Amino acid sequence: MITLEHVSKAYTAGIPALNDVSLHIDKGEFVFVVGDSGSGKSTLIKLLLKELEPTDGNIIINGRKLSAIKRKQIPKFRRNIGVVFQDFRLLQDRDVYENIAFAQRVIATPTKKIKRRVPVMLSMVGLAAKYKSYPRQLSGGEQQRVAIARALVNEPKILLADEPTGNLDNHNAWEIMKLLDEINKKGTTVLVVTHNMEIVKAMKKRVITMKKGVVVSDERMGDDDAV
C-alpha cells in the first residue's frame, strides 16, 4: 500500500530532513509515527502527498511510483488519500454539510451522490443533528469529526492524520482515536502522526519512531507496553 525505498529529503545543504528511510505499510494497517519535533514526521506526510519530492529514493503508493506521476495528475492521485490536520482547516463561512460536500464538489461529484453520501458521513462521525451548524458553533472535538468526515467522503484508501488530537482535551482526543480505529476496521489504511504517547501505548498498534530523519524503531506495542 505504502512503500518507501531508501528515501532521503534535504531542504538545504547539511543534515537531511529524512535520511535513507525504508518502510512498508500494508493495506488495512493502522500505524503511528512518533518522534520529537524535527524528526522528519511532517516531511514524511508531505512526501506521501507529493507536496515535496524526495532528494533520493522511491515512494510507491497503491502500486504507483510517485516520481512517475505528472503535475497535472497530482489532484487525481490525492483523491485516494484523505488528510486530517491538527488545526481542522474547515471553511468558516460554510456549515457542516457544506464543509463535507465541498470535498466532493471540487471533483465534480454529481449533486445526487453528494446528497446521498454526506448524510452517511455525518452519521458515521456522530454529527447528523449538526449538519446546519457552522464551525464556530462546534467544540474542537466536533470540528475534528467534521474534518474526518470531509477526509473520508470520497472513500480514500488511505487516511493520513497529522497530530489529529493536538488541539483537543484528553476526552475528545480519545473519542477521535476511537473513531479512527473504527474507520481502520472498515478497511481504510490509517497513518497517524502524534506526540500523544499515552494513546499510542494504550492502542497497541504498530509504531514507527523517528529521530533526526531516521527510523530508529518499528514495532507493534504489546500488552507489556500498555499504559
* Residue 156 pLDDT greater than 70, yes or no: yes
Q: How confident is the model at residue 79 (pLDDT cuts 50, 70, 90)?
A: confident
* Residue 227 pLDDT greater than 90, yes or no: no
Average pLDDT over residues 30-58: 94
DSSP label at 177?
H
Task: Kindly state whether residues 168 and 76 are assigned to the same domain.
Answer: yes
pLDDT of residue 16: 86
Q: Is 88 exposed, middle or buried (0-12, 13-18, 19+ CB in 10 A)?
A: buried
Average pLDDT over residues 205-219: 95
Residue 124 lies in a domain: yes
pLDDT of residue 221: 75
Task: Kindly state whether residues 72 and 101 are assigned to the same domain.
Answer: no
State what percent of residues in the chain have pLDDT above 70. 96
Residue 12 lies in a domain: yes
β-strands 189-193, 158-162: how paired?
A: parallel
Task: Kindly state whether residues 23 and 115 are assigned to the same domain.
Answer: no
State the total domains in the chain: 2
Residue 166 lies in a domain: yes
Task: Report helix, strand or coil for 116.
Answer: helix
Task: Kindly state whether residues 161 and 217 are assigned to the same domain.
Answer: yes
Task: Give the domain extent around 122.
Answer: 91-155
Average pLDDT over residues 178-200: 94
Residue matched to cell numbers 512498508: 24
Give the CATH number of the domain where residue 17 resides.
Answer: 3.40.50.300
- Distance CA(49)–CA(97), nearest Å, equals 25
